Amino acid sequence: MTFPLDLTPPVFLAPMAGITDLPYRTLVAQFGAGLVVSEMIASGEWITSRPGTREKAELGLGVEGTSVQIAGREAAPMVEAAKMIAAQGARIIDINMGCPAKKVTQGASGSALMKTPDHALRLIEAVVAAVDIPVTLKTRLGWDDDMLNAPQIAQRAEAAGIKMITIHGRTRCQFYKGSADWAAIRGVVDVVDIPVVANGDIVDATTARQALAQSGAQGVMIGRGIQGRPWLLAQIAHELYGTAAPTIPQGDGFTDMVLGHYDAILGFYGTKLGLRTARKHLGWYMDHVGTPSAERRAVLTARSPEETMIVLRAALDPSMWGAAA
């Protein structure tokens, strides 16, 4: 059983809207990752908006170890988007059947497709037939506890040519509440011959081991656990698979990494949008070092990149906490 394009180690970065953009995926990949997945793109919007240079760059087209995730509810736009993305250098295309967001499911996309498996399979078949690169699938256990149909969908997806499937161990109706049921993923593993990747509540090597043991999956995908810890995939891969240990930045090294990420965000989005986009990442970095509320507030309310960088240095340096009091 091999992963598409022999992706190793099998510790992957999940697509997360507004989080796993190109600057963050690049930072994660610098530490080491078997695969990073772009933010989900809506196929219909993609083909009608005539994406510009930044939007195309956002996908990381042609970057080794990068998958581009598409979503949709109609075959024609999904096929056209897949063809465009493949022609521009994508290495892997992933089909989203797992997003639980209401704005997605109300449009009959994402995890809503689990309610209409025949239609979902027509979309899968159309995309697979349209491109010559591997196509993978990301989904959930089912729509709700009365519709746990991931194994049946996975079997049919494999027959349609899907090369790998990632299962988030919750139903759509759970959203992100409760705990991911890794053991339930085994129902998918038992009925397919393609690699299965476990996703949901995996935040360190211990939970990764537990997810693999309970699910029988061949790999793990990390989502929210990596917020503020871009080295996490490499750290888990080292502990599980013996890959090179990442150098986890500390002190000034951590500050330099954060400032470098901040600069990359501003360079990618521009100053106005970059200031807003960066705040969530800066918040997670401050969570990591335990920044007090006053210093944290100064960073998140700064009005310019110059002001942000000044107060951010202080916010990440424990010796400076309370210095202005």
Same domain? For 281 and 195 the reply is no
**Residue 273 corresponds to which tokens in the numbers above?**
């949008």
- pLDDT of the residue at 242: 96
Whether residues 63 and 190 fall in one domain: yes
Residue 261 belongs to some domain of the structure: yes
Within 13 A of 148's CA, how many CA atoms are on the CB side?
13
The number of residues in the chain equals: 325
Please tell me whether residues 164 and 108 are part of one structural domain: yes
Task: For residue 234, say whether it is annotated as part of any ligand binding site.
Answer: no
Residues 104 and 208 placed together within one structural domain of the fold? yes
Assigned domain for 50 exists: yes
276 assigned binding-site residue: no
Distance CA 208, CA 218 (A): 11
Per-residue pLDDT at 51: 58
Regarding whether 150 and 229 lie in a shared domain, the answer is yes
The reported pLDDT for the residue numbered 53 is 46
Same domain, 150 and 294: no
**Residue 292 marked as a ligand binder:** no
Query: What pLDDT is attached to residue 56?
Result: 56
Annotated ligand binding at 223? The verdict is yes
3-state secondary structure the chain: CCCHHHCCCCEEECCCCCCCCHHHHHHHHHHCCCEEECCCEEHHHHHHCCCCHHHHHHCCCCCCCEEEEEECCCHHHHHHHHHHHHHCCCCEEEEEECCCCHHHHCCCCHHHHHHCHHHHHHHHHHHHHHCCCCEEEEEECCCCCCCCCHHHHHHHHHHHCCCCEEEECCCHHHCCCCCCCHHHHHHHHCCCCCCEEEECCCCCHHHHHHHHHHHCCCEEEECHHHCCCCCHHHHHHHHHHCCCCCCCCCCHHHHHHHHHHHHHHHHHHCHHHHHHHHHHHHHHHHHHHCCCHHHHHHHHCCCCHHHHHHHHHHHCCHHHCCCCC
325 in any annotated domain: no
The neighbouring-strand residues paired with 69 are: 94
Do residue 38 and residue 145 come from a single domain?
yes
Q: Which of 199, 221, 241 is the last residue of a domain?
A: 241
Residues 215 and 256 in one domain: no
Per the annotation, the verdict on 99 as an active-site residue is: yes
Catalytic-role residue among 35, 99, 192, 194: 99
Domain with residue 188: its CATH number is 3.20.20.70
Same domain? For 88 and 210 the reply is: yes
Question: What pLDDT score does 325 carry?
Answer: 42
Q: Which domain holds residue 72?
A: 4-241
Q: Is 147 annotated as a binding residue?
A: no
pLDDT for residue 59: 77
| Cα 59 to Cα 167: distance, rounded to the nearest angstrom | 22
Query: Rounded to an integer, what distance in angstroms lies between the CA atom of residue 236 and that of residue 63?
Result: 22
Q: Does residue 282 sit within a domain?
A: yes
Closest by Cα among 253, 236, 254 to 245: 236
Residues 263 and 146 in one domain: no
CA distances from 149 to 99, 138, 144, 172, 296 (A): 16, 14, 9, 12, 44
Domain boundary pick from 190, 216, 241 = 241
In a domain, 120, yes or no: yes
Structure tokens at 303: 């009005």
Q: Are residues 37 and 120 in the same domain?
A: yes
Token reading at 288: 């990591």
Q: Residue 17 annotated as binding?
A: yes
Residues 19, 37: Cα–Cα separation, whole Å: 11
Q: Could you tell me if residue 247 is inside a domain?
A: no
Tell whether residue 69 is among the known ligand binding residues.
yes
168 is in an annotated binding site: yes
Tell whether 200 is covered by a domain.
yes
Q: Please say whether the beta carbons of 101 and 109 come within 8 A.
A: no
Of 241, 271, 296, the last residue of a domain is 241
Separation between Cα atoms, residue 18 and residue 133, nearest integer Å: 26
Tally of structural domains, the chain: 2
Output the tens digit of pLDDT for each of the chain's 325 residues.
677 777 889 999 999 988 999 999 999 999 999 999 988 888 888 888 765 545 655 777 777 788 999 999 999 999 999 998 898 888 999 999 988 888 888 777 899 999 999 999 999 999 999 999 999 999 999 999 899 999 999 999 999 999 999 999 999 988 889 899 999 999 999 999 999 999 999 999 999 999 999 999 999 999 999 999 999 999 999 999 999 999 999 999 999 999 999 999 999 999 999 999 999 999 999 999 999 999 999 999 999 999 999 999 999 999 989 764 4
User: What's the start-to-end Cα distance of the chain, in Å?
Assistant: 60
Is residue 212 located within the same domain as residue 296? no
Whole-prediction pTM:
0.93
Flag whether 11 is in a domain: yes
Which residues, in sequence order, are CB contacts of 270 under 8 Å at separation 6+?
A: none
- Which residues, other chains included, contact 107 with Cβ-Cβ below 8 Å and sequence gap of 6+? 73
